[in-house]
Amino acid sequence: MTGIKTYYWTVDEDSPESYPQVEEASLWIKKNEVIAFPTETVYGLGGNALSDEAIEKIFKAKGRPSDNPLIVHIAKREQLQGVVSEIPENAEKLMAHFWPGPLTLVMPKGDVVSEKVTAGLQTVAVRMPDHPVALALLRYADLPVAAPSANLSGKPSPTAAKHVYEDLDGRIAGIVDGGPTGVGVESTVVDCTTDIVTILRPGGVTKEELEAVVGDVAIDPALLSSGQAPKSPGMKYTHYAPKAPLTLVSGSQEMLQKLVNDDRKLGKKVGVLTTEENKHAYDADIVIACGTRSDLSTVANRLYDVLRAFDYSHVDNIYSEVFPQEGVGAAVMNRLEKAAGGRTASE
């Protein structure tokens, strides 16, 4: 699927509604075409959530399996009507506290959403993004918009418009460039159809933050098992992967360095993903500091950009440090584990 003319609109995110480009982009969504746009997490690839035709174009552009559900994005509470059949009590609490923001709520599906959005499930994932360009686009479109990350399936998610362009130029109708994203990893997805809110995908809102609002929060067993059908977008297949094999190293710095040395003796070009604190501890062809270990939100913010940077460097192998799984560290490690596809090394 190539050869489509991809329009490119540059928008100042501080005053998006003063730019006609946002309204122009929304017209393409109304015509059941797909448009990439920024959110506070990553760039999304948006299409009319009510249209089978638009959803098929999303899957085709991304090369994404059609049994992987999508998140529906809205700009106002009124747009939930018909998208969901009911709003559970815990969902009300979470919406009041975290919307707009990087939190996706899974609720009983309404009757207006395309079946292709939910991959046949009786639930639908919905969020309200906290980004002025995204909200302006959704208001102009005036309909619910399904939007996975705007990248080729399996590749690192895009946190800048240039990433979208690299992956999808010629495959989609347009790209709205609203600058870099903020959080850097996708939204947290929680199931609100159960008595206890359950995290289906860790992300920009932490377990601890959720528990402060709704009490005990569970972790879905499917996060630990690839054999279960996903209730959450982005959890069934290997995702976020750079071109070179990525290995997570839970041993010492000396062990990671030995892995690098062994590869280099074989003539391989090797990259290391580390943090500012440890960037001078390694001798490799490419060493990239991905934020600071003292503030894991900085690691989340830079993660996908760093994974793509290794692609630009044409390394043969990548070794990454691992991170604590508290707070946003849970989302960081979830994405790294998916990107590594099960490749780990430990002492």
Measuring CA to CA, which residue among 195, 232, 235 is closest to residue 217? 195
Per the annotation, does 149 bind a ligand?
yes
Per the annotation, does 171 bind a ligand?
no
Helices 296-313 and 329-340 cross at an angle (nearest 10°) of 20
User: What's 327's DSSP letter?
Assistant: T
Measuring CA to CA, which residue among 269, 266, 303, 301 is closest to residue 288? 303
Per the annotation, does 7 bind a ligand?
no
Per the annotation, does 157 bind a ligand?
yes
Per the annotation, does 232 bind a ligand?
no
- 19 within 8 A of 11, measured Cβ to Cβ: yes
- 270 within 8 A of 249, measured Cβ to Cβ: no
Three-class DSSP category at 144: coil
Per the annotation, does 151 bind a ligand?
no
Token readout for 277 is: 């604190």
Per the annotation, does 314 bind a ligand?
no
Place of tokens 């979830």: 334
Per the annotation, does 123 bind a ligand?
yes
Per the annotation, does 160 bind a ligand?
no
In whole angstroms, give the CA distance from residue 159 to residue 174. Answer: 16
Per the annotation, does 163 bind a ligand?
no
Measuring CA to CA, which residue among 281, 284, 272 is closest to residue 247? 272
Three-class DSSP category at 244: coil
Per the annotation, does 41 bind a ligand?
yes
Measuring CA to CA, which residue among 190, 151, 186 is closest to residue 169? 151
Sign of torsion, CA 299 322 164 146?
Answer: negative
Residue 143's Cα: distance from chain center in Å?
A: 22
Per the annotation, does 293 bind a ligand?
no
User: What's 81's DSSP letter?
Assistant: B
Binding site feature residues for L-threonine = 41, 68, 73, 127, 147, 187
Annotated binding site: 41, 64, 68, 73, 123, 127, 147, 149, 157, 187, 201, 240
Binding residues for ATP: 64, 123, 149, 157, 201, 240
